[in-house]
Structure 1
Amino acid sequence: MFESLEAVLAGAPAERERTPVRRNSRAAGRCEGVFWRRTDRQEVRRIVLAARRYELASKEHGARNGPLGGVAIELLELFANLVDFRTGRLDPSIETLMRHLRRSRDAIVRALKALRSHGFLDWLRRYVPTGNEGRGPQVQQTSNAYRLSLPARARQFLGRFGINPPLPDDHVQAEAERAAEMEAHKASLPMDELALFEVGDNPLGQALAHLGRSLKLRESAKRTESQSSFIKDREE
């Protein structure tokens, strides 16, 4: 069972401003089990082909690029070569992406955001222990865990290539077990983390997470008030 973000961060330094870790980051090695999923070369090729056709079909007349942009297509092709088909593992650093594509950090970051906003990519922010002793930061940011996906609005551009062949029984069973694990993991998350998990780390997800935290604090305050009233009544 996967721990909630609060439990994961329990060992982090109390002085939050001294910890160079971005919000909603999760402990590397503990969060990827239900995020990464097994894939194959054919599925990855479908995602890349769909992105290319989506880019062309959605480009406005006279525009140089479509909604994704050329760097995003290059990045998706690179991801297709880096992903581990057996496990779905995909976690290159920004520096690795820059080195392979010979693009600037800003160009890579913009491409990542475009792929995510159009449904071809998702990621989890992660942190690892620094190994430091003393009062310094005990954790630090590490590379994101990425996951490729094929959005429904892009699948239509694949035609017959978008039709998946029948899956073997063992694959169906594995997917069913993974789906059950995913549901169990989601059920263990508090409302604020569930919002970020379902919607993503975007303005809508942040707004829903803020609402979830407010509701959680309100419920906690009600329970505290109820317990105080019960103790007071018994004393009287």
Structure 2
Amino acid sequence: MFAALGTVMTGLTGRRTHAPIHRQSKPAGQCEATIWRGTTRRDTRQIVLAARRYEIAMKPPGKRTGPLGAVALEVLELLANLVDYRTGRLEPSLDTMMRKLRRSRDAVVRALKALRDHGFVDWLRRFVPTDNEGSKGPQVRQASNAYRLAMPAKARACLGRYGEAPPLPEDREQATAERAAALEAYSASLSIEDVLSSIEDTRMRDSLTRFRLNMLKKRESVERTESGPESIYKEERTPLFGSLTRPCGGSGPH
């Protein structure tokens, strides 16, 4: 059950410490990336539901329990409640599970083994160093396992339609479309002043207002510049020497 630290720290210290830790234990803080994955509340709930249906579907005739057992279902639900959805971090100690479930150590250990045998849970054993310096090297102690929840294929098949996302009802789809159309129409009806007044950040609102005023001034300047050639053209068409008609009663050149 136990192995010398030298069998699991080969290449780390170069010497044996003979500290009693479980086989294949990994240094805590360096191995979790291989087992922890981000998840969601829906995925963890699906795993628990699949385990319950799997327990019923696989129960042998005449037996009171299935291949997992009641304690295993309790342990699985506890792990689903403790997992960090963003990172997948899940590392409760046996003492924590015993205290929360009010079960014996042997019952929790057997439940974990059943969950692992049927593919619902996997874990890595870990160790951490201590401040004690032994005669044969630095001392370490066993740490809590790093756990990961999983959905075995047989259990997913037991879910049936419960394993699929339910479609949206027709009235909800229509309500969603109508709400989106109303929001779009409302946004189109807003003026720039309305948009600026809705900004709560005073500094940002003032900056955008100044920017808008500057843009308006530049636009007016461009419009005045573009109107210049038209006025010049009109002045060129104006006669320079007055009217070309003869004065009344006078004689003009022939």
TM-score (norm 1): 0.63
For 1:71 and 1:92, the matched residues in 2 are separated by: 16
More helix by share: 1
Contact residue 128 and residue 140 of structure 2 kept, 8 A: yes
Structure 1 unaligned blocks of 5 or more? 166-236
Structure 2 unaligned blocks of 5 or more? 1-5, 167-254
Q: Which has the larger radius of gyration?
A: 2
The question of 1:103 aligning with 2:110 is answered no
Post-superposition shift, 1:140? 1.1
Aligned position for 1:34:
34
Deviations 1:92-128 (A, max 9, x none): 0000000000000100000000000000000000000
**Root mean square deviation, CA, Å:** 2.1
Aligned position for 1:156:
157
Aligned position for 1:67:
67
Post-superposition shift, 1:7? 8.3
2:24 is paired with a residue whose SS is coil
For 1:73 and 1:146, the matched residues in 2 are separated by: 15
Deviations 1:26-45 (A, max 9, x none): 00000001310000100000
Within 5 Å, give how 1:77-96 maps onto structure 2. 77-96=77-96
Post-superposition shift, 1:62? 1.8
Deviations 1:79-100 (A, max 9, x none): 0110000100000000000000
Contact residue 20 and residue 137 of structure 1 kept, 8 A: no
Between the two proteins, what is the percent identity of the paired residues? 62
AA partner of residue 132 (structure 1): N
Question: Relative to structure 1, is the Cα distance of residues 9 and 142 closer, same or farther in structure 2, using a 3 angstrom cutoff?
Answer: farther
Which of 106-115 and 132-141 deviates more?
132-141
For 2:128 and 2:139, the matched residues in 1 are separated by: 9
Aligned position for 2:56:
56
Question: Relative to structure 1, is the Cα distance of residues 13 and 74 closer, same or farther in structure 2, using a 3 angstrom cutoff?
Answer: farther
Question: Relative to structure 1, is the Cα distance of residues 13 and 96 closer, same or farther in structure 2, using a 3 angstrom cutoff?
Answer: farther
AA partner of residue 126 (structure 2): R
Deviations 1:175-206 (A, max 9, x none): xxxxxxxxxxxxxxxxxxxxxxxxxxxxxxxx
TM-score (norm 2): 0.59
Post-superposition shift, 1:162? 1.8
- Compare relative contact order (CA 8 Å, sep 6+) and give the higher one, 1 or 2: 1
Aligned position for 1:10:
11
